[in-house]
Amino acid sequence: MNLKKNIISLFDDRTAGSSSLLNKLNKIMREDMGRTEYLSLIIAEGRKRFIDFSIVLNYLDEIEATLGDKDALTRTIDFYDDYENKVNENIFANGNEYFLKSSKILTLSNSFTIANFLTRLIKVNNKLEVIVTESRPRNEGRILTKNLIKHGIPVEFITDFSCASYLPLIDAVITGADKILSTGNIVNKTGSRNLAILCMYYNKPFYVITSNNKKSKDSEYIPEDRNPEEVWRYRDNKLKVRNYYFEEIERGLITEVITD
């Protein structure tokens, strides 16, 4: 049995955040919910492809548990149709007070949760400006930037390693999370840990904004080396190009984890 183009395209997506991937995956599951064997194939392959995304892995577990019960499967998929709106409303309610007086917030990469939070925040804090780092090598920061601009939020777009120059000028750093480890540490896009360390140096708050279902039973994170050609296609037998997408950020570096 072969996978369809839509799920292959989702598996190959290297720029979307984990919540966005979940939303797209749920729509695909709905399209094929009458094909139990095919859904099982998606689940098996999805566990390999989304190993860094706890929210997706937890979702796949829920879907698998209901495969033998059509009504239960339908309820699960229906629940996730509006899941993001419900979760993001709660996240914003729990965290907006931290940023009502903020004029400059810095973030990185592309996160559906962060975009949703900031587009809600601009409605109650019209002086808000956001600084977004490019987030190499796939430049996901460009996706977030376009999204924020579309919602009327002023954005400064900067290179990853110019962050230190901007830290003295901001009120806070916010990031999402792709996984919350059992230790309380989080896993997020590479560059997040640098920002957390810079915040400690400059005495700035570092907030993580994420949903509770990104919690994992894992106590440690082992970085996965991705395609080196995304960083540099140059080859030499004395050259090793590394491409880590995600990294672990210690709980002690985090001011607050804001969840639903």
178 is catalytic: yes
Please give the Cα distance from 176 to 241 (Å, whole number). 26
**132 SS3 class:** strand
Q: 239: which 2 tokens?
A: 């050259």
Please give the Cα distance from 236 to 113 (Å, whole number). 40
156-178 burial, b at 16+ Cβ within 10 Å, e below that, comes to: ebbebeebeebbeebbbbbbbbb
Identity at 249, one-letter amino acid code: I
Q: How many CB atoms lie within 10 A of CB 125?
A: 16
Element (H, E) at 173: strand 172-175
Please give the Cα distance from 225 to 116 (Å, whole number). 30
Helix axes 18-31, 70-81, angle to 10 degrees: 140
The catalytic residue among 178, 225, 236, 260 is: 178
Would you please indicate which residues are annotated as catalytic (active-site) residues? 178
